[in-house]
Structure 1
């Protein structure tokens, strides 16, 4: 096992680092105005990064999930909203290109759209009433109705990051009349930056942090999707999305938040090394309490980085499966807790003056706030880790809440 990057992975990670420096110059503006960082998406496209999650045999960069993880950790240190949003493009293209049930000709079409035509895509899975504690709450309520030549979509999706900037959206819908709640169809919907017929974007995204992701609610009222953009069907949505796609379903988000944590650590280190209290010759960085806080932050983030990179290596080496899911869910839990602890400890170490609006730490702390919440949240992640560590079958676990209707267990070991 090796998590050392090859030359191409290093090149892509360095691209992320360079772009992050530029994105950081506009991050405060987009955060203040909760505006979409369109120029950042354009620069990512110009840098050839719309194929960052696409294998080389389809014309992509072929850096694997390990290379993508290294890239997005760097990118998130400049503008977390851009990294978190662009992760949805990687999520869409990466999920589609690795899915075993999607035909080769469809995969090549999607790769061509992203790489040759520069089309930006996003993934939309969250339901209006979903909960990061309950995986079964993500089963699609958006309805797909069969019509001549394709399907029409009816219903809503929530937390649709970057949808207003995207040309296509990858989503799941429930086939009309199917009694199996987990029966789903994966579509690539031509959304035309929210201008497609039957699409209404509700501007509800005025958040504490991640303000520039523009994660608004989208309503579909008869939006047409041609048969050629039907990607796959499944009777087991949760296993299909969570187990088969563990890397993209939550591994990418975890790497983004780890990048925020590393950014906080780097800022705090520099800030404290340059801060000298009245009457003292040395900077506050030399104070033993500060040294201990920075030491604990660095250690916890380093352990989390090793966890996510090992999970990425495992995914690249062995593919999808319960073992890969286990590695990612452990990494997700570790990162959520580490970044939350980092934000809290850095605030204590740097003091109130670091939380002024003009100081980048204030924004990074707010962006980090959802690290332990991003699905699955740290409680749900720890629950799955506990079940799998003890060799228990998650399908045999009792539901945490009484259900209105029978739901199939969220994950199985099959």
Structure 2
């Protein structure tokens, strides 16, 4: 057995991202929510400090911190703004990662490098009107015409869709579902108006239209007909990063709630002296301990190239469910002030709810977990 401990470099990364979040993100997080937009200046600053490619090797333009480093970064970003964490996740963990995991060396050099450096913004185009949880049911078509693929179809709920420079697209060919890299400046590509959402309002979410979009034959990611495997492997990492963001938000809410409980007085005493408040804080702390444990245990296994499909589904399920409870407790502890937009607690409450839906609903996660349990006859080694 070994000590659960981060390296000196990982702790330095955490300190750097935390300082950045405190100085650059938290002061404008409310405005990001109200304006429903992340300022381009903030995106440029995120690129400058290496956060937009923190997980990728340096040879591909990244910072070389792997999945553990990415989870550390997302945890700290989410303490300030879940919209910004969502933007980064869609760009790095799924949009760019699909190319990194499945693409040829030429594709990785051409696209992963500028994406990891933040010179391009990425997105992941899988979901369609009839292909949400049933993601295999994609109707978007790609047909080979000489040395070009021609893509036609519609995508929905695409995070970063309206601001992306490069998208990873999943479309059906004669051989099955395939994955492609599409530059959004290509004729025939268009993004619809941003969705009006309950939470993560600063993260833009758009429908995408492909109208005879022609891309080079070489922009196929991996092999024709094998794109669905690329999508599923990519989502393994996406779900893990989502869990890390939930962890960061949960930690922030516990700190805010504890501080408020110690300062707020009723019946001539601090409300932190009431068992009802103490029990909520205790439950929040228990969930956070569990969240942190499974996030980083799984991230280590991911960096060791192990199959973590079941584990990442567990991370996504448990962390998103826990954050919803923690956010609710935070509102309750803050009372009326927790319901007011004067404090960030209500924003965290609204931002939390989507985590049980996107990157595969929690019902889908339980299905993934159950299938693996049955396959292994209940043995979880």
| Same fold? TM cut 0.5 | yes
What is the SS of the residue equivalent to 1:220?
Answer: strand
How many Å separate the matches in 1 of 2:161 and 2:235?
Answer: 22
Residue segments in structure 1 that go unaligned for 5+ positions in a row: 394-414
Say which of 183, 187, 190 aligns to 2:183: 190
Deviations 1:260-314 (A, max 9, x none): 222222222222222122x51x321221111110110111121011111111111
1:115 is displaced (CA, Å) by 4.7
Q: Which residue of 2 aligns with 1:404?
A: none
The more displaced of 341-350 and 288-297 is: 341-350
Q: Decide which of 325, 350, 373 is 1:366's aligned counterpart.
A: 350
What number of residue pairs does the alignment pair up?
375
Counterpart of 1:231?
Answer: 221
| CA distance 1:140–1:7, shift in 2 (3 Å) | farther
Map Cα deviations across residues 27-69 of structure 1 (whole Å, 9 max, x no partner): 2112122124322211111112332121234342111111111
Correspondence 1:156-195 to 2 at 5 A: 156-175=154-173, 178=174, 183-192=176-185
SS in 1 for 2:28: helix
Once the two structures are TM-superposed, the CA of residue 205 in structure 1 deviates from its matched residue by 0.9
Give SS of 2:197's match: coil
Runs of 5+ consecutive residues of structure 2 not aligned to the other structure: none
Alignment of 1:4-403 (within 5 A): 4-21=5-22, 22-91=24-93, 92-99=95-102, 102-115=103-116, 118-131=119-132, 134=133, 136-175=134-173, 178=174, 183-192=176-185, 196-242=186-232, 244-277=233-266, 279-280=267-268, 282-319=269-306, 321=307, 324-391=308-375
Q: What's the TM-score once normalised by structure 1's chain length?
A: 0.84
Structure 2 length as normaliser, TM-score? 0.90
Q: Does the Cα contact within 8 Å between 1:261 and 1:342 map onto a contact in 2? A: yes
Change beyond 3 A, Cα 1:71–1:116: closer
Q: Secondary structure at the match of 1:169?
A: strand
Q: Aligned equivalents of 2:255 and 2:137: distance in 1?
A: 39
Report the Cα offset of residue 246 of structure 1.
Answer: 4.5
Q: Judging changes above 3 Å, is the alpha-carbon distance between structure 1 residues 113 and 353 closer, same or farther for their aligned structure 2 residues?
A: closer
Is the contact between residue 17 and residue 75 of structure 1 (CA under 8 Å) also seen in structure 2?
A: yes
